[in-house]
Amino acid sequence: MGYVEELRKLVGHRPLILVGSVVLVLDKEEQVLLQQRKEPHGKWGLLGGLMELGESPEDTALREVWEEAAIRVCDLQLIDVFSGKNHFVKLANGDEFQTVTIAYYTNKYEGAMQVNREEALDLKFFPIDALPEYIVGSHKKMIEMYMKMRDTK
């Protein structure tokens, strides 16, 4: 059982502040790797997840990419930290939380990509300027922030 599940047993549905990391994994053509999630069904999003006790945000990013795509990433570069009132979530089961998400990007990865069938339906690279319509809204904003950063270099 993970940290968040243990917390939920103690506090029920009360609002929590949860910290997580996501990674824009980019291929040679600068396409971004997205995961098609089981929940909400079919929605595309970046690879990532919530921090466990004892982890740094970077550790979380590395672990989540490995768990979700079976690839190892390195040379993570910070995009930004995302939080605030627009990052408050209420799930269908009543759980409430505000996220603090640290977003990274990298084009350095190795391994044979493989879908984690417990969490996802598919993994696919998309042109960064032609993302699917059914995408996690905050992740789309993170990708847009990366594009602005890239274009000002």
Q: Domains plus CATH for the chain?
A: 3-152 (3.90.79.10)
Residue 125: strand pairing partners: 33
Is there a contact between 37 and 118 (Cβ–Cβ < 8 Å)?
no
Condensed to tens digits (0 to 9), the pLDDT of residues 67-109 reads: 999 999 999 999 999 999 888 988 889 999 999 999 999 999 9
Rounded CA-CA distance 34/47 in Å is 7
The reported pTM is 0.92
* pLDDT-flagged residues of the chain (< 70): 1, 153
Task: Supply the pLDDT for residue 61.
Answer: 98
| Residue 86 backbone phi and psi in degrees, to 5 | -80, 0
Cβ neighbours of residue 23 under 8 Å, at least 6 residues apart?
46, 47, 48, 61, 64, 65, 73, 76, 103, 104, 105, 106
